[in-house]
Structure 1
Amino acid sequence: MIDYTYRVDKLFESQFREWKLARDNYHQLESVLVRTIFFHGYEISVQFNPGRITSSAARVDARSIEARPCFLCERNRPPKQQGVPYGIDYIILINPFPIFPRHLTIVSQLHIPQRIDGSFDTMLRLAQSLPEFVLFYNGPQCGASAPDHLHFQAGKRGFLPIERDSANPDLCHLVSRAGETELWLWKNYDRGIMTLKGTDPEALENVFSRFHEQFALTQPDRPEPMLNILAYCSDDLWTVHIIPRRIHRPACYFAEGENRILLSPASVDIGGVFITPRQEDFNRVTAYDILNILDEVCLGEEELITLTKDLL
């Protein structure tokens, strides 16, 4: 069995040695500004990370995507960017514009659209192969800055508040169980989240596929139903947080002047770390702003109860 933890450690060592851009950007993470905003029963971190401006401000309309070379395709990647093959279909790269102290992008070797249907099993395998990381998937209209090229990302465990919050019974509670698979829902968290836990990846995939099919019926005009997904695996127990969405970006993203907050939430933000690439937004964003953003972007907790009824 391939030890991907070892291979990824060696990849970081070699890339930091040979690729100045990546080395400098990870070093700068040590001095990023961080604020903590407290809510009833949970907290959210706000990070000022100017290196993420390209991702946060990315134009992802069809015309803009067609007009630029795909930066995830091998021929367009920086010459110094090396990777670890994952089977024959994917390659593991370090993300040169990190949020996490260890941040990976796992890229399909083929230039195919960002879709979770048919790829969820790969995400589970990656989570098992990289137990020190949280895998995350941003849908094509849910924070992915390369919606034309299938990819996942992964960040070091322990960074996202959602990991510890999922163990809080006041926030996350068991709804149903079938065999070794469990369905958990969240309350008092101000965003609708469905969490699956289990030891059988095939059973998890079957439950997810049923949910995906059902949710897709509510968004028939989308390339796929709007989803952010986070997954991790410890001792062959998978935890998968599934976050259905209603819109891509909140109204404040498009506002003008002082009312604009350049914040385009994806898996990391909804998982509890809001990334602001502009310092003025970092300084002024409030709890009220965050609640408004979550309310606009995510489905509500009551909607999740309806969507997951009889799912398990």
Structure 2
Amino acid sequence: MFLTKVDLMAYGLPRRESDLSDRGFALLKQQHDTWPLLQKGASTLGMVVVREIEFDGFSMKLQFNPGRIVSSSAKVDAKSIAERKCFLCLENLPTEQKGVIAGDDTLNESENDVTDASNYVVLVNPFPIFPEHFTIPHQSHVPQRIADSIGTMLDITRDMGSRYTLFYNGPRCGASAPDHLHFQAGDRGFMTIDSTWEQLVQKHGKWIRETSDIRIAKVDDGLRRFVVIESSVRDEALKSFNKLYRKFESLNWQIHPNEPDIEEPMLNILCSFEQSKWRLIIFLRKKHRPTQFFAEGDDKILFSPASVDFGGVCITPVEKDFNSITREDLTDMFNQLSVDPKYLHAVADELI
């Protein structure tokens, strides 16, 4: 199922030195040519409708995308997960689905190692949000956890960053396969926050640390509470993320007093690599889905936000919701999911 660089040359992979973004783009073309499910998903994407809602100095996009209804409504309770085949395990992939290995052309023999990019496989997502949308699962069925895999996320982002932003949905933060470690990637610049994050820092946050190697900001824009870590030094970015993670984890007992065994702190993470710098945007959450998701009748809104939604493109698979959601609805739903400001400040203080 793995395509090599030689295989991908027939789909435009340059003979010169190429990176993982080049191989991913060639894989996308190969899959569009040979996989009917992706062809159908891509045609659905061509019919999406978008509108914008303005906030204080920034906007959020609503995308009506009926092709995402399975993901948005996915049951992710332990019983439902145990009863289904994992759709990210390599042995369960459709015959037509091909992939490229994120590291070298050979999978790492240490199957459970989450720190090596050669244990991850780049696949095209057949139910896309982005024009170019990839899922990047680990080769083994290991749980969705970021603590030990954040370094690998930085490495893969460096290799795909010329075209794509990577993102991570925590096990209770929009991951429809919370039992299988994976990242996703999509077109850089697609999410509104890709181009507005510095404006958000200036208007709704502040830089809390600035050195020659790293700068860190905290932001509360009235909907989302997040931290930005930007660094040209991998180990500096990694060290700061680990500090954030440990501090946020230590607050779990306050944020989730009735869930002492929650899998990991609730995070959505965007990761990009531009001008030789990594940028992590880390959204801090307290809840999986808003109350409107579980309502009945006209009060129900099928909105289950994950990284892309927090990044400024809110996916609505139901047309009624797309047409009716207001600025007040989005403000209410994001505030239900985002941590209280005091926790943002507590986490940020650890990073100064």
Q: What TM-score results when the alignment is normalised by the length of structure 1?
A: 0.97
SS of the equivalent of 1:152 reads strand
Q: Does 1:40 align with 2:56?
A: yes
- Aligned twin of 2:227: 194
Q: Is the 8 A contact 1:190 1:300 kept in 2?
A: no
- Aligned twin of 2:184: 153
The one-letter code sitting in structure 1 at the alignment partner of 2:141 is H
Shift of residue 202 of structure 1? 1.0
After superposing the two structures, state which structure 1 stretch, 135-144 or 161-170, moved more.
161-170
- Which of 282, 286, 296 is matched with 1:246 structurally? 286
Equivalence map 1:23-38=2 (5 Å): 23-38=39-54
The one-letter code sitting in structure 2 at the alignment partner of 1:156 is D
1:222-262 CA distances to partner (integer Å, 9 max, x unpaired)?
Answer: 11110000010012101110011000000000111110001
User: For residues 205 and 83 of structure 2, what CA distance do their matches in structure 1 show?
Assistant: 43
Query: Using a 3 Å threshold, how does the CA distance of structure 1 residues 166 and 5 change in structure 2: closer, same or farther?
Result: same
Shift of residue 2 of structure 1? 5.3
1:54-81 CA distances to partner (integer Å, 9 max, x unpaired)?
Answer: 1111111111100000000011111101
The one-letter code sitting in structure 2 at the alignment partner of 1:55 is S
1:247-293 CA distances to partner (integer Å, 9 max, x unpaired)?
Answer: 00000001111100010000000111110111111111111110001
- Which of 153, 157, 163 is matched with 1:127 structurally? 157
Equivalence map 1:201-220=2 (5 Å): 201-219=234-252, 220=260
Equivalence map 1:172-191=2 (5 Å): 172-191=205-224
Q: Is the 8 A contact 2:137 2:183 kept in 1?
A: yes
SS of the equivalent of 1:52 reads helix
User: For residues 183 and 301 of structure 1, what CA distance do their matches in structure 2 show?
Assistant: 17
Shift of residue 173 of structure 1? 3.1
Q: Does 1:272 align with 2:302?
A: no
Shift of residue 163 of structure 1? 1.2
What is the identity percentage for the equivalent residue pairs of Structure 1 and Structure 2?
Answer: 41
- Aligned twin of 2:97: 81
User: For residues 289 and 295 of structure 1, what CA distance do their matches in structure 2 show?
Assistant: 10
SS of the equivalent of 2:203 reads coil
Query: Using a 3 Å threshold, how does the CA distance of structure 1 residues 216 and 310 change in structure 2: closer, same or farther?
Result: closer
Equivalence map 1:84-99=2 (5 Å): 84-87=100-103, 88-99=118-129
After superposing the two structures, state which structure 1 stretch, 22-31 or 83-92, moved more.
22-31
The one-letter code sitting in structure 1 at the alignment partner of 2:46 is E
Shift of residue 143 of structure 1? 0.3
User: For residues 47 and 225 of structure 1, what CA distance do their matches in structure 2 show?
Assistant: 28
- Aligned twin of 1:165: 196
- Aligned twin of 2:133: 103
Unaligned stretches of 5+ in structure 2? 1-16, 104-117, 253-259
Q: Is the 8 A contact 1:192 1:302 kept in 2?
A: no
Q: What TM-score results when the alignment is normalised by the length of structure 2?
A: 0.86
Q: Is the 8 A contact 2:45 2:67 kept in 1?
A: no
- Aligned twin of 1:290: 330
Work out the number of aligned pairs and report it: 312
Q: Is the 8 A contact 1:207 1:311 kept in 2?
A: yes
- Aligned twin of 2:38: 22
Shift of residue 179 of structure 1? 4.6
Aligned-pair Cα RMSD in Å: 1.3
User: For residues 217 and 302 of structure 1, what CA distance do their matches in structure 2 show?
Assistant: 14
Q: Is the 8 A contact 2:218 2:348 kept in 1?
A: no
User: For residues 77 and 125 of structure 2, what CA distance do their matches in structure 1 show?
Assistant: 23
Shift of residue 89 of structure 1? 0.3
